[in-house]
């Protein structure tokens, strides 16, 4: 998914056309048969859900760090993601032990940087990292829907299309609005994520 974001519109169109011509879906979940499948919904919140990623620059900076970290530093695969002023979610296939260690280092580094920038030495920035292993295809697509609906759920925008720090636009370009609408109907959120923000 991250490599796709780096492509030009023409390169994206060529990749999608090639996958369609060969009968491959543009995007598919990992296989959920055994221990080889390690897809997780990974989330972290700012301490007390304070909005500390408040500038576009800070949101973009953390987005780049997160996506680069998972795909380039850890060799994982990002399936969907959203970064918001007070928390983030990333659906990824990654070694969980490595991700935990990477996240601790990256959270610490960004906390130090942002506290310097904000002149708030010692302020606690991050809290409550969590991981949930994706059980099956239904859980996978419900997680994609949850991620893409999250900016609206938390009141950052009225329409998810208006939140740029999210993978929704990539999905719209790749699979189209009709496919996303079908996923929304087939994999409803119901109580997905209930209690996560308590």
Tell me, yes or no, whether 32 lies in a domain. Answer: no
Instruction: Name the band, by pLDDT with cuts 50, 70 and 90, for residue 24.
Output: very low
Assess if residue 136 is contained within a domain.
Answer: yes
Domain assignment present for 18: no
CATH number of 58's domain: 3.30.70.1290
Query: Residue 98: which of 53, 42, 28, 166 has the closest Cα?
Result: 42
Q: Is 78 helix (H, G, I), strand (E, B) or coil?
A: strand
Total domains, the chain: 1
pLDDT band at 38 (very low <50, low <70, confident <90, very high): confident
Q: pLDDT (tens digit, 9 = 90+) per residue, 157-175?
A: 999 999 999 999 999 988 8
Residue 195 has pLDDT above 80, yes or no: no
155 Rama sector, left if φ>0, alpha if ψ -120 to 50, beta otherwise:
left
pLDDT tens for 96-148 read 999 999 999 999 999 999 999 999 999 999 987 899 999 888 999 999 999 99
In this prediction, residue 197 carries a pLDDT of 57
d(CA 21, CA 140): 25
Q: Which domain holds residue 169?
A: 2-6+40-186
The predicted pLDDT at position 192 comes to: 78
Residue 33 lies in a domain: no
| Residue 80 near residue 90, CB atoms below 8 Å | yes
The pLDDT, as a whole number, for residue 107 is: 95
């Amino acid at each position: 998914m991250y490599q796709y974001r780096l492509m030009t519109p023409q390169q994206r169109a060529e990749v999608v056309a090639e996958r369609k011509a060969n009968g491959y879906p543009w995007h598919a979940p990992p296989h959920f048969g055994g221990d080889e499948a390690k897809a997780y919904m990974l989330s972290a919140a700012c301490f007390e859900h304070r909005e500390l990623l408040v500038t576009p620059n800070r949101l973009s900076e953390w987005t780049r760090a997160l996506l680069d970290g998972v795909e380039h530093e850890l060799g994982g695969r990002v399936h969907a993601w959203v970064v918001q002023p007070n928390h983030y979610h990333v659906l990824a296939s990654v070694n969980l032990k490595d991700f935990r260690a990477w996240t601790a280092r990256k959270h610490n580094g960004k906390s130090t940087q942002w506290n310097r920038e904000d002149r708030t030495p010692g302020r606690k920035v991050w809290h409550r990292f969590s991981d949930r292993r994706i059980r099956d295809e239904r859980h996978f697509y419900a997680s994609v829907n949850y991620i893409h609906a999250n900016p609206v759920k938390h009141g950052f925008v009225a329409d998810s299309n208006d939140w740029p720090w999210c993978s929704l636009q990539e999905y719209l370009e790749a699979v189209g609005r009709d496919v996303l609408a079908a996923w929304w109907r087939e994999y409803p959120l119901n109580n997905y994520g209930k209690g996560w923000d308590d």
